[in-house]
Structure 1
């Protein structure tokens, strides 16, 4: 593994058009799971100028059965969508939570998909699709995440908090960040470049107002990144194109699932290709990605490695994973194959079947909208939220090895 290099990750804010779509899709997932914990949801969202469109497949007792909506269900869906956009903060001429046009094109789940997933007779519940999923953890930050992505997220989270509180009223919802760090001996030692592009109120692209915006962003960066990483040599690129008044879905169309690297590990780990938002937890794109993060984080938290990548693979309709792969990148204190055997031998994990994953992490709950901005991983477990970030398996893994 290389020890001396530059590495970069980016993040996007909750107001980025793709993230608006992700949050709407997960708001729909939460809505249906709150009605029926066994609901099946695959909800895609399109956002553009004054328009939100939902499309996909659902099955939900008491809400959508036999091809018909329950009374009031469609109105509740639209209300949920508008409340999501309002919470993000869009009240602009080109995209306003109260006035955008809304289309609901959700329909019944395919019976052929359902028969592969549902348990019946002696058949255990199968995976909702084929595919490969990756999880990752490293000791670069307290949350065991890649430092470049960790700081990229934190910059935008702080800016959003300041926007919502009124501390930075010149900010609008759409924003992106990017952090480049220099690593020496495998450890981040300097921030070489910081990029922040933020939508802003009129006039903050020139003169004293522009200078105030730039000063604000630099102050946020200085508060987020450890002081030893910043120096006079750090390059700042703040709104490098100039004006950024038109943003969000009015500036660019947004779609569910287009920010999968932002959602995961900022490019520091492989990605299986499947998005998370809009999917109920029978979809292993989501649940298996969560369990692999959980396992990788617990391995690092247990002191078994400083860096860990885990892959799982599934076939649609088949309950047992086709493969489990562990790579500690030469940082492990025990053999990687031994870790694989220990994982599969833990009764608490139930052989990593889709149902066992959901039961161990408690995934059949309305807990997903919070995950749809600022990353699904590296978050602090709070109540029912982010259970895949717990490190309660570390002791059992150490004991098994």
Structure 2
């Protein structure tokens, strides 16, 4: 039986965290290519440090005559991302940092395993295992610690960008420890918030006075108590931030991107990868399936695992775990999943509408627990498969 009474902690990082700057650039490059050619193949990695951004990886286009033109746009894409995030520091400024573009054509040896020929189904872009998770902690069916860690930073970014809090900087981290009672989150035990700020005269107390009202606004009523511990900028001054303070790299925040450690993770990062790569698309499908299992009332908590081999279209295995909360046996859930959704790479992309420029927005504040959008963004958050799953069991 799962534990009912415990404390669990998750962390998030803001859009200005060095790794998230890199995720943002990689996904913006992906959107630019896939927006022009929906079947574009992209594997874009970004590295950022003081006054420098380096972008590398592989790109595949059906119309190879356009490749050089698209590659020529990459530098401006990077600068636009940095500008929108808000970096205008002496040693990391959107207009003056050096941007090196090392993107090149995709390996033909990788493409041959993925491309469909004749009657051959399109294969997965790599081997791997992917996990999806859903739980009744929040209306979004997300683990509460990671969900509210994201929401705190998202709200502070809104206040900063609106001009309401002009002394806050782009780089920030949050961490929330929640006490669970009878399997439900009921109390915040501690809040950790470190945020970049403009002036070295600002103390930790000054920063707490700025951020506390926004944190209280985001967290559910009654969760913060007199016993809640607050740790705001506990090391003191935090003026130098972003890639000038610490180097960043695409794909280093995979637990922040997913479930905050509350569920397994297959290990593959998302950002910069087009949806033929099952690291991304199958992880989205697994979340979609887990969320629909819970939304269908088949379990209060659910993990779905999918596995793939490079060049092979069908998943090698489907695994469900409902942690003793299931109303339906896991084997029936696994069989139902195979019936209601085509889990080949192309089947996932078609079902969820993934061949669209919808990825830059995923780069910060989590890939899951967001509202499905009219243009197809976050389509994997829909619960439109619940009825089909119920019928299939």
| Counterparts of residues 211-230 of structure 1 (less than 5 Å) | 211-230=205-224
RMSD, aligned CA:
1.1
* Paired position in structure 2 for 1:104: 101
* Distance (whole Å) between structure 1 residues aligned to residue 115 and residue 70 of structure 2: 25
Q: Find the residue that maps to 2:297 and give its secondary structure.
A: coil
* Paired position in structure 2 for 1:321: 315
Which residue, 142, 165, 170 being the options, matches 2:167?
170
Q: Deviation per CA, 1:183-236, whole angstroms, max 9, x where unpaired?
A: 111111111000000000113533xxx533212222112111112211110000
* Distance (whole Å) between structure 1 residues aligned to residue 205 and residue 39 of structure 2: 52
Cα deviation, residue 69, structure 1: 4.0
* Alpha carbons 2:39, 2:61 under 8 Å: kept: yes
Which residue, 347, 362, 387 being the options, matches 1:356?
347
| Counterparts of residues 122-161 of structure 1 (less than 5 Å) | 122-161=119-158
Q: Find the residue that maps to 1:277 and give its secondary structure.
A: coil
* Distance (whole Å) between structure 2 residues aligned to residue 324 and residue 204 of structure 1: 55
* Alpha carbons 2:33, 2:70 under 8 Å: kept: no
* Distance (whole Å) between structure 1 residues aligned to residue 62 and residue 76 of structure 2: 20
Which residue, 87, 92, 95 being the options, matches 1:95?
92
* Paired position in structure 1 for 2:277: 283
What TM-score do you get using the length of structure 1 for normalisation?
Answer: 0.96
**2:369 corresponds to 1:368:** no
* Alpha carbons 1:9, 1:149 under 8 Å: kept: yes
Which residue, 193, 198, 201 being the options, matches 2:198?
201
Cα deviation, residue 30, structure 1: 0.2
* Distance (whole Å) between structure 1 residues aligned to residue 216 and residue 102 of structure 2: 45
Which residue, 256, 264, 286 being the options, matches 1:270?
264
Q: Deviation per CA, 1:310-368, whole angstroms, max 9, x where unpaired?
A: 0000000000100000001111111010011111112xx22x10100000000011000
What TM-score do you get using the length of structure 2 for normalisation?
Answer: 0.98
Q: Deviation per CA, 1:160-205, whole angstroms, max 9, x where unpaired?
A: 0000000111100000000001111111111100000000011353
Cα deviation, residue 113, structure 1: 0.6
Unaligned runs of 5+ in 2: none
**2:41 corresponds to 1:40:** yes
* Distance (whole Å) between structure 2 residues aligned to residue 85 and residue 131 of structure 1: 32
Corresponding residue pairs, total? 391
* Distance (whole Å) between structure 1 residues aligned to residue 310 and residue 201 of structure 2: 51
* Paired position in structure 2 for 1:14: 15
Q: Find the residue that maps to 1:228 and give its secondary structure.
A: coil
Cα deviation, residue 74, structure 1: 3.6
Which residue, 187, 192, 195 being the options, matches 1:190?
187
* Alpha carbons 1:204, 1:213 under 8 Å: kept: no
* Distance (whole Å) between structure 2 residues aligned to residue 200 and residue 290 of structure 1: 35
Cα deviation, residue 397, structure 1: 0.9
| Counterparts of residues 292-331 of structure 1 (less than 5 Å) | 292-331=286-325
* Distance (whole Å) between structure 2 residues aligned to residue 112 and residue 255 of structure 1: 26
